Amino acid sequence: MDTVLNIVVVEDHDALREVTVEALRSMGHNAVGVDCAEALADEIGAFPIDLMVIDLNLPGEDGISLTRRLRAAQPEIGIIMVTARNRINEKLSGYESGADIYLTKPTSLEELGAAVRALARRIKGYQQARPAFMLNLAALFLQGPRNGVSLSAHETAMLTVLARAPGHRLESWQLIELSGKGEADFSKHALEVQIVRLRKKLMQAGAVDQPIKAVRGLGYQLCIKITVV
C-alpha cells in the first residue's frame, strides 16, 4: 500500500470500534479509536489526522455536528460517515454536513477498505504538501517525517523562537532569557545541555545531521524548517 493514513474511528459500540480499528491497522494504516466526540480532543494534536470514520449516533455530540465542526476546522481531512440510517434525506444531511462518503450499516470491512482507498488518492496530495516538521504549541508536540515527539513547555518555547527568528538564529543570552533566569543563574553550559536534549528529540522526529548548530561567539541556529501551528 502506497499511502499510509492516520485514521481516528469515532464509534461508541466497543466491539465494532475495536474490529474496525484492527481492520484498518491490518490494511497498513495508523488507526486509533474513541467512543465519543468529546474523547477526540485527546487524539487531536497527538498526530496529524488524515481521515475520520464517524458513527452518526454518538453519545453527547452527534456525528452530524462533529462532522460539520471538523470540516470547518480542517477542510482537507477525509470523513467517512457510518450509520444504520439509510433514508435519502438522512444521507443528504450527512453529505451536507461535510462527509466525503456515507456508508450504511452493516458495513463490510471490504467496503470500508475500498472507501478508505478512494479517499487516500486525494489525501496523498495533501500529505505531500504537508510541512515536514509541525510544532503544535497547544499540545507541546512536534510531528516530524519519521515520528512525533512530546516536548516540555520550555523546549517548545525554544523551538518557537528559533523558528520565528530572522535566519532562525538567536544569541545565547536570548535563549537563556526564556528560562526566566539571568546569565548569572543559568550558565551557557546549562543551555548547551538543553540544546543537546532538543537535538536528540528533533532527530527522533526525523531530522538529520545537526538540526541545531552552535554559531561561534553568538549562539545557536535552527537548520530545519519548522511550521508552528
The string of pLDDT tens digits covering residues 61-93 is 999 999 999 888 778 889 999 988 888 888 898
* Strand arrangement, sheet containing 101-104: 30-34, 6-10, 51-55, 78-83, 101-104
Task: Name the pTM for this structure.
Answer: 0.58
Q: pLDDT of 34-65, one tens digit each?
A: 999 888 876 665 567 889 999 988 988 999 99
Nearest residue to 140 (alpha-carbon basis) of 159, 153, 127 = 153
Mean pLDDT of 176-197: 76
| Per-position DSSP letters for 74-132, written without gaps between them | -TT-EEEEEES---HHHHHHHHHHT-SEEEESSPPHHHHHHHHHHHHHHHHHHHHHS-S
